[in-house]
């Protein structure tokens, strides 16, 4: 089964022009000093407050803004601007200003040029406000004529683009098993809590007696045919229970189970989108199922998920998947395009330095109690590292009409923008 549907909805950030949380001033980091950042009253900020301030300043600056990111070490908002006038506005607002050569419009145009002239399998690119460039990655399969094509495109774009090689091969991170000999809970244990116990007992949907049961959380293993993936987030669709996972997983099978033997059916694919985007919505077959709005943390228990947010560069995130368990990292780029080969090109992804491996596909990317993304694919593994890309969860919610983490029937909306204690967080 290869169910591919069109995708028109993209992640839509909500501009919240609220007042930032103001905490004691801090000295600029050495990183900022080396880059010539301008500051007078830059403030120590939480990621939440930085997001609100970044959104407000970007709206005020208009075309004079060139992206922003959160410096987790210094706990400051760094805003790229094109001139001294913009820098003064940022400083007056409490951010750290960087005068940069490339506007947001120029970077978006560069990304479109790459799409038109250098759509080479094994490549990826995303906008990186830290370098004020479009960051291009070429995996180990890009050689010969393909590498020459990519080099020409990058050279033509000059200072708008930076390029580096990835040691691995870009691929979606679904896993495969045969009959009852699946891989669940037997993945890598490097740099994290390791594979989770996904034996399929009392996981959710219906057991063999036909009674509704609960317990399938984000990061838990799900099985469809010969494919093993990971559940992303449990959601609600017009009062009916469902869950999100990767679209390339949903393309592989119509029916998904909590166990690799296929005795505990969870639900049926309602929407599956891959390529272009990478998400699918699976509705629970038993409407009485009450799955938790939570992510599995292995031995550390679970993390409640109460809302969905848009990613921002510098945001510290955590991933849970059925092969490698729980791993942490940072968002490194936004609006990423990844060419997995065979015509499978996915746009609008979140780029991170979080590791993942086959079987982790569809698993949850989150920040505290906020859902951020669904694992798509990447390169490397949890021993050697690499890059991993995620489908923004806000785009999946908007496209499917689903909601996430609605307590007591409340509807938090499809794209709240907060991480932590605050209600709102936007991308840049």
Measuring CA to CA, how many Å separate 315 from each of 121, 137, 165, 331?
Answer: 28, 21, 24, 5
pLDDT band at residue 222 under the 50/70/90 scheme: very high
Q: Is the pLDDT of residue 394 over 90?
A: yes
Percent of the chain with pLDDT over 90: 71
Instruction: State residue 191 phi and psi, 5-degree precision.
Output: 60, 25
pLDDT digits (tens, 9 = 90+) for 405-423: 754 444 444 444 445 333 3
For the question of residue 408 being annotated catalytic, the response is: no
Q: Tell me the pLDDT tens digit for each residue of 288-306.
A: 999 999 999 999 999 999 9
CA distance 273 to 250: 8
What is the tens place of the pLDDT at every residue in 98-114?
A: 999 999 999 999 999 99
Q: Would you tell me which CATH number, out of the four given (3.40.190.10, 2.40.10.120, 2.60.120.10, 3.90.1310.10), belongs to the domain 167-428?
A: 2.40.10.120
**Looking up tokens 């691995």, which residue turns up?**
168
* pLDDT given at position 178: 55
pLDDT of residue 91: 95
At residue 346, the 3 state secondary structure works out as strand
Active-site entry in 48, 128, 139, 278? 278
Q: What is the pLDDT of residues 105-157, one digit of tens each?
A: 999 999 999 999 998 999 999 999 999 999 999 999 999 999 999 999 999 99
Annotated catalytic residue 361:
yes
Geometric angle at alpha carbon 39, from 35 and 40, rounded to 5°: 160
Q: What angle do CA 284, 287, 288 make, to 5 degrees?
A: 115
What span, in angstroms and rounded, lies between the C-alpha atoms of 341 and 338? 9
Catalytic residue among 248, 296, 360, 379: 248
Mean per-residue pLDDT over the chain, rounded: 82
Residue 209 in this model has a pLDDT that exceeds 90? no
Residues 6+ apart with CB under 8 A from 372: 308, 309, 310, 311, 315, 317, 350, 365, 366, 390, 392, 393
Identified catalytic residue from 312, 361, 376, 415: 361
Look at residue 177 in the predicted model and tell me its pLDDT: 67
Q: What is the mean pLDDT of residues 10-26?
A: 33
User: Is 278 labeled as catalytic in the residue annotation?
Assistant: yes
- pTM reported for the whole predicted model: 0.82
**How is the chain split into domains, by residue range?**
30-99, 167-428
What gap in Å lies between CA 291 and CA 341, rounded to an integer?
35
């Amino acid at each position: 089964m290869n169910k591919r549907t069109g995708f028109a909805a993209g992640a839509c950030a909500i501009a919240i022009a609220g007042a930032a949380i103001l905490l004691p001033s801090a000295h600029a980091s050495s990183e900022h000093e080396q880059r010539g950042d301008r500051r007078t009253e830059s403030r120590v900020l939480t990621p939440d407050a930085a997001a609100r301030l970044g959104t407000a300043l970007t709206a005020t600056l208009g075309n004079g803004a060139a992206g922003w990111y959160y410096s987790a070490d210094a706990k400051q908002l760094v805003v790229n601007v094109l001139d001294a006038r913009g820098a003064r506005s940022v400083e007056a607002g409490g951010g750290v200003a960087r005068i940069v050569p490339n506007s947001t419009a120029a970077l978006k145009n560069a990304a479109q040029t790459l799409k038109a002239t250098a759509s080479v399998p094994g490549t990826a690119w995303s906008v990186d406000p830290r370098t004020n460039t479009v960051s291009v990655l070429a995996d180990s399969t890009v050689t010969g004529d393909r590498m020459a094509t990519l080099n020409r495109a990058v050279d033509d774009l000059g200072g708008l683009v930076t390029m580096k090689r990835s040691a691995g091969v870009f691929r979606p991170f679904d896993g495969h098993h045969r009959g009852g000999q699946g891989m669940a809970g037997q993945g890598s244990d490097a740099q994290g809590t390791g594979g989770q116990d996904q034996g399929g007992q009392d996981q959710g949907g219906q057991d063999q007696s036909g009674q509704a049961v609960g317990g399938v959380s984000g990061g838990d293993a799900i099985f469809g045919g010969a494919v093993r993936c990971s559940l992303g987030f449990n959601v609600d669709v017009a009062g009916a229970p469902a869950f999100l996972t990767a679209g390339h997983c949903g393309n592989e099978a119509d029916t998904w189970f909590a166990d690799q033997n296929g005795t505990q059916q969870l639900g049926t694919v309602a929407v599956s989108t891959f390529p272009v985007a990478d998400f699918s919505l699976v509705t629970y077959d038993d409407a009485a199922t009450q799955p938790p709005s939570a992510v599995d943390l292995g031995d550390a228990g679970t993390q409640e998920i109460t809302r969905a947010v848009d990613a921002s560069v510098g945001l510290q995130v955590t991933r849970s998947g059925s092969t490698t368990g729980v791993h942490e990292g940072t968002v490194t780029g936004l609006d990423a395009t990844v060419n997995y080969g065979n015509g499978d090109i996915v746009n609008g992804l979140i780029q991170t330095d979080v590791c993942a491996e086959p079987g982790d596909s569809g698993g949850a990317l989150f920040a505290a109690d906020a859902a951020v993304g669904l694992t798509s694919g990447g390169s490397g593994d949890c021993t050697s590292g690499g890059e991993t890309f995620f489908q923004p969860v806000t785009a999946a919610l908007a496209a499917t009409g689903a909601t996430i983490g609605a307590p007591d029937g409340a509807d938090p909306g499809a794209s709240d923008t907060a991480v932590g204690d605050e209600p709102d967080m936007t991308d840049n």
